[in-house]
Amino acid sequence: MKRVIGYVLLLAVLPLLSCANYMEAAGANDIGDPPFPPTPSIMPLLEGNTWNCSYTEYDSLGNKIVPNRADLRIAITAQYGMVNDTALERITTGNYWDTSRFEAQVYQYNTAEQAKSYLVTYRRTYPLEKRGLYVIGEYEANVIRLYPVEQLWLAYPADSGRQWQYKPDPLGDSSRTLSMQIVSTNATATMIDYPGMAGIRAVDSCYLYRQSNAGGDSVSYYYYNEKIGGIAYERYIKGKLRVTYILKSFTNKYRKY
């Protein structure tokens, strides 16, 4: 299945270059460098990474809800080192370049500057059938809460057809479960050709993820590229398109991509 999302709009994340040369290794100890080199995943993980998207909602009749094309900001606002699989230690610029003392690097992922952020980590050393981006907890009101069981969010690398279950609220409604599936590992998505906003730009080699609830009346599609992260998103409720967002730009406060 190959969907092209620019004409219908979708989920979210990046900008002004081709996919080839985005993520460089961090420099030695230059002032202003981020605490760690970026972690490669289906989403590039690095504190300061910010995805600016164009967000649109539709009513049940398919009409755009005013205002059209609101701005949506997604960002990695902090990063941590995990110690003994139970505690997180905040990492700041210029400190802790030796990552060997940590079992994992954990990133604070925030959407639309909401009060709650999610703590994500890429499990690169897991067996291939379990490898991917995991949500391991939440951050809210300066309090970190780790999940009793980490949740596989985005499998990567993986083959088309891969399926798994994801609990989006294990600390609240632990019975709520979403079904996830990789529809394609070589899909094409589109993003807004920022800053001119004059057209759209195609991005190849994307993973296309499908997410659905237990009843199947809510279905979402996510497009991700390993060099960029989320490119586009669309959500259908009872077969009607209700939400889309599409990437406008991808930036980092520490470095230029």
pLDDT tens string 34-74: 666 778 899 999 999 999 999 999 999 888 987 777 899 99
Which one, of 189, 234, 180, lies nearest residue 207 by Cα?
Answer: 189
Residue 194 CA to residue 249 CA, distance in Å, equals 7
> Beta strand pairing status for 178-192 and 117-123?
unpaired
pTM, whole model, 2 decimals?
0.83
pLDDT of residue 186: 96
SS (H, E, C) 110-143: EECCCCCEEEEEEECCCCHHHCEEEEEEEEECCE
- For the ranges 31-35, 177-181, 226-230, the maximum mean pLDDT occurs at 177-181
Q: Is residue 10 very low, low, confident or very high in pLDDT (cuts 50, 70, 90)?
A: very low
pLDDT of residue 23: 33
* DSSP line for 23-79: -PPP-SS-TT--SSPPBPSSS-B-TTEEEEEEEEEB-TTSPBPSSPSEEEEEEEEEE
Q: Which residue has the higher pLDDT, 107 or 27?
A: 107
DSSP-derived letter for residue 221 is E
Given a contact cutoff of 8 angstroms between Cβ atoms, the answer to whether 102 and 35 are in contact is no
